[in-house]
Structure 1
Amino acid sequence: MINVSFGPNIFLGIIVSIGVLILYFLRNVKPEVARDEDIFFATIGFLYSCILMVHGWRLDPILLFSQVLIIITVLVAGWENIRLRGLIANMAKVKNKKKS
């Protein structure tokens, strides 16, 4: 049974989809920061967001709260990971500049 109605599950699914699209298009914006496994995680995240949007109406309040906490944790950890990748890329660029 597929029952799609607008609720907090759609909002969470859209947030995850936006985060996944940012991760996916990072390869076009900053290729020195992107990694090959980002495509895998983007695909899994997109699948997760679709499942959350379609079947999220079944979530009772405590399960919805747990999904909110998981999504916040994953997005913050992903943001920090990408930021650290950028710092490492900048450090490597400065090191190569000093070397030559």
Structure 2
Amino acid sequence: MVNIIFGTNIILGLLIIIGVLLLYFLRNIRPEVARDEDIFFTTLGLLYGTILIIHGWRLDPILLFSQSLVVTISLAAGWENIRLRGLIADLLVDKLKNELEVD
């Protein structure tokens, strides 16, 4: 049975879907930061977000709270991971520039 009711589950599902789509489109914006395994995580995130939207009405309050914690932690860890990838890419570019200047 599919029963979609607008609530917190819709917001959580949309947050996850938007977050993983941003991860996917990062490949177009900064290709040096993107990794091949991002497509795998994007697929899992889209599946997870869709399940939350379609079947989230079944969650009782404590399970919904735990799902909101999981979504928050996942998005925060993903954001930190992307920032660290960008810093590493910038450090590698600076290192290569310094090596070229020395030669």
Q: TM-score when scaled to structure 1?
A: 0.99
1:4 equivalent in structure 2: 4
Q: Give the TM-score normalised by structure 2.
A: 0.96
- Other-structure match for 1:29: 29
Deviations 1:41-69 (A, max 9, x none): 00000000000000000000000000000
Which residue is equivalent to 1:82? 82
Considering only CA atoms, is the larger Rg found in Structure 1 or Structure 2?
Answer: 2
Amino acid at match of 1:22: L
Classify the secondary structure of the residue corresponding to 1:6: coil
User: What are the Cα deviations for residues 13-68 of structure 1, in whole angstroms up to 9, with x where unaligned?
Assistant: 01111101100000000000000000000000000000000000000000000000
User: In structure 2, what is the Cα distance between the partners aligned to 1:11 and 1:77?
Assistant: 19
Give the CA deviation at 1:5: 1.2
Q: Counterpart of 1:42?
A: 42
Report how far residue 84 of structure 1 moved.
0.1
Between the two proteins, the alignment pairs up a number of residues equal to 100
Where in structure 1 are there 5+ consecutive unaligned residues? Answer: none
Residue aligned with 1:34, SS? coil
The superposition leaves residues 68-92 of structure 1 with CA deviations (integer Å, 9 ceiling, x where unpaired) of: 0000000000000000000000000
Tell me, yes or no, if structure 1 residue 69 matches structure 2 residue 61: no
Identity %: 65
